[in-house]
Amino acid sequence: MKWWPFILVLLSNFITPIGAEASDVARITACDYPPYEFEHPDGDKRGFDVEVVEEAFRRVGLPAVFEFYPWARALQMTKDGEVTALLSCVDTLERRSFLIMSEPISASTRIFLVRKEYDGPSFTSYENLGGLNIGAVKGYVSSGDLTRHGIQHDLSVTDAAALKKLAKGRIDVLNTTLERSQYLIDRLDMKGRFKWFVQFKKDYHLCFSKNRPGVKELIVRFNTVLKSIKEDGTYGRIHNKYR
């Protein structure tokens, strides 16, 4: 009988799911970013990325727990390996140094948002922005892109704060995403006050921390079930709730 504790330890090593975390829970960090993820559910809506990722981990056999923080902190926690992965993020060369991106889970439309009365030249790139006061949200890819193009810009902590600055004329242009902006504009009772110029579309990913144990095996399993979610109609049913 004295060998049983040792045998049980060996057996537990063999039956632990490949790629599972030590706690057998996937900690997913995110910021409040409707319609992709809601910190506070809107009825039965928790965000289409949340629902897709939750279903994927259910099929993997690893429960997902979603934790909400400001974007900069969520990104840093994932970089440091405090959590399993980050929702919903864009693939960049810098992030690849500490993150592994899943297959695309959704997409966003990058825009230049202006007040409705704006009558200057249209723009779909970083040209023609001279003389305008540009805004972005701290920690977002759009801020990094503006910096790389040598464009000084005003930073806001949240999307809502940036929209309010734009509405009040404290900035002239907000480099942001269409899907997120449309949701907030409705909620902030600002409908009809803005127009936009489309810049480009970008995929969003679930971005796994390289500093977590078993992450390479876990992301393979995640991508496999994500493909099945898209093929069997589950993905479409989830997104249809938000249209």
122-166 tens-digit pLDDT: 899 998 888 899 999 998 889 999 999 999 999 999 999 999 999
Give yes or no: residues 198 and 119 share one domain. yes
Q: In the chain, how many domains are there?
A: 2
Give Cα 124 distance to the centre of its chain.
Answer: 23
Contacts of 187 (CB under 8 A, 6+ apart): none
User: Which pLDDT does position 116 carry in this prediction?
Assistant: 97
Could you tell me if residue 8 is inside a domain?
Answer: no
Question: Per-residue pLDDT averaged across 175-181, rounded?
Answer: 93
Residue 199 has pLDDT above 50, yes or no: yes
- 66, 50 in Cβ contact below 8 A? yes
Domain assignment of residue 149, given as a range: 109-202
What token pair was written down for 66?
């979603």
Could you tell me if residue 4 is inside a domain?
Answer: no
Give yes or no: residues 55 and 36 share one domain. yes
Cα separation, 148 vs 20, whole angstroms: 38
Give yes or no: residues 129 and 190 share one domain. yes
Could you tell me if residue 213 is inside a domain?
Answer: yes
Give yes or no: residues 101 and 217 share one domain. yes
pLDDT band at 23 (very low <50, low <70, confident <90, very high): low
Question: Per-residue pLDDT averaged across 39-58, rounded?
Answer: 95
Could you tell me if residue 3 is inside a domain?
Answer: no
Question: Per-residue pLDDT averaged across 80-101, rounded?
Answer: 94
Give yes or no: residues 48 and 127 share one domain. no
Could you tell me if residue 2 is inside a domain?
Answer: no
Residue 15 has pLDDT above 50, yes or no: no
For the chain, helix (H) and strand (E) counts, in that order, are 8, 9
Residue 52 has pLDDT above 80, yes or no: yes
Residue 6 has pLDDT above 60, yes or no: no
Give yes or no: residues 98 and 210 share one domain. yes
Cα separation, 200 vs 176, whole angstroms: 11
Peptide bond before 63: cis, by omega within 30 degrees of 0? no
pLDDT band at 40 (very low <50, low <70, confident <90, very high): very high
Give yes or no: residues 44 and 153 share one domain. no
pLDDT band at 71 (very low <50, low <70, confident <90, very high): confident
Give yes or no: residues 161 and 41 share one domain. no
User: Which pLDDT does position 22 carry in this prediction?
Assistant: 47
Helix pair 178-187, 159-168: axis angle to 10 deg: 70
Residue 232 has pLDDT above 60, yes or no: yes
